[in-house]
Amino acid sequence: MNILMVLTSHDKLGNTGKKTGFWLEEFAAPYYAFKDAGAVISLASPLGGPPPLDPKSDTPDAQTKDTQRFKTDPATQDVLAHTLKLSEIAAGDFDAVFYPGGHGPLWDLAEDKSSIALIEATLAAGKPIALVCHAPGVLRHVKAANGDPVVQGKAVTGFTNTEEQAAGLTEIVPFLVEDMLRMNGGNYAKVADWQPYVLKDGLLITGQNPASSELAAKELLYRLSIATP
């Protein structure tokens, strides 16, 4: 079972002068869910090398059992520091793909041609993809085989407008995940802010927020288990 995790390389929070990147919990919780299930995990990002960590996801109040495990796991820290370059990744080498969120993906992965091609090739091969929090934003330009937006008619979720408002970044981000998914024809649904929520529709698995990370990873593992002959 080979799983690819794709992280952002973008570290600038618009024109605020502040830093962004990937959200630590959204990497750590799925990573350890996959690792503990015996998966072979590969990490990639647009630029390769160490992906930028959103500093807000590393504050004391943002810690979870998985982020704490990461802090005492030098082997995983080393793997994260040496992500592969996304343009050099072959979709056929993996059984599934997982995208952690954080605000970074809205700037780079949502527009990245290698990411778009990876998702389209993975879905065309009948393999599942999971995306959590802001990561469903990377589906912005992804097309289905018939040329329609890949989320059109699909049950999807992602970071809500009200969660973005609570984060104080509604006017900073290049687009709002909820609005984009709706505009592209997705059957968007959500629960109360910050509560775990995951939707599955065929090969597509989406999670609403950081609290949904582990649940989305487990849904991906379940999808792989029922696909294994």
pLDDT in tens, 174-220: 999 999 999 999 999 999 999 999 999 999 999 999 999 999 999 99
Over residues 89-109, the mean pLDDT reads 97
**Fold adopted by 2-227:** Rossmann fold (3.40.50)
Indicate the pTM of the whole model.
Answer: 0.96
pLDDT at position 228 is 55
Contact, 127 vs 223, CB < 8 A?
no
**CA dihedral over 49, 52, 53, 55, signed as positive or negative:** positive
Kindly list the domain boundaries of the chain, sorted by start residue: 2-227
The pLDDT-based confidence of 227 (bands split at 50, 70, 90) is low
Please report the DSSP string for 32-99 in residue order: HHHHHTT-EEEEEESS-BPPPBPGGGGSGGG--HHHHHHHT-HHHHHHHTTBEEGGG--GGG-SEEEE
Return the axis-axis angle of helices 24-36 and 213-227, rounded to nearest 10°: 30
Question: What's the rounded Cα separation, in Å, for the pair 131 and 150?
Answer: 13
Percent of the chain with pLDDT over 70: 99
SS3 202: coil
Percent of the chain with pLDDT over 90: 98
Contact, 188 vs 156, CB < 8 A?
yes
The pLDDT-based confidence of 229 (bands split at 50, 70, 90) is very low
Contact, 22 vs 44, CB < 8 A?
no
The pLDDT-based confidence of 94 (bands split at 50, 70, 90) is very high
Does residue 120 have a pLDDT over 80? Answer: yes
The pLDDT-based confidence of 226 (bands split at 50, 70, 90) is confident
| Beta strand pairing call for 129-132 and 40-45 | unpaired
